[in-house]
Amino acid sequence: MREFVDSVADHLSNQAGVQRVPSPKAEIYQIRNFVTQSLREQLIALIEKDRRPSTIADHNGDDYFRTSETCDLDAAEPAVAAMESLLSALNGIDPVYGEPLQGQRYDVGQEFKPHTDYFTPGGTDFDKFCSVAGNRTWTFMIYLNDVEAGGATRFKAVSKTFQPEADKLLCWNNKRADGSVNPNTLHHGMKVRKGLKYVITKWYRERPWA
CA nearest to 171, candidates 150, 156, 155, 159: 155
Domain extent listing, the chain: 2-205
3-state secondary structure 28-62: EEEECCCCCHHHHHHHHHHHHHHCEECCCCCCCCC
Q: What is the CATH number that goes with domain 2-205? A: 2.60.120.620
Residues 6+ apart with CB under 8 A from 85: none
178-204 pLDDT, tens digit per residue, is 999 999 999 999 999 999 999 999 999
Tell me the per-residue pLDDT of 158-183, one tens digit each, with 9 for 90 and over. Answer: 999 999 999 999 999 999 989 999 99
Residue type, 136: R
Identify the helix (H) or strand (E) that includes residue 203.
strand 197-205
Report the DSSP beta bridge partners of residue 104.
Answer: 70, 199
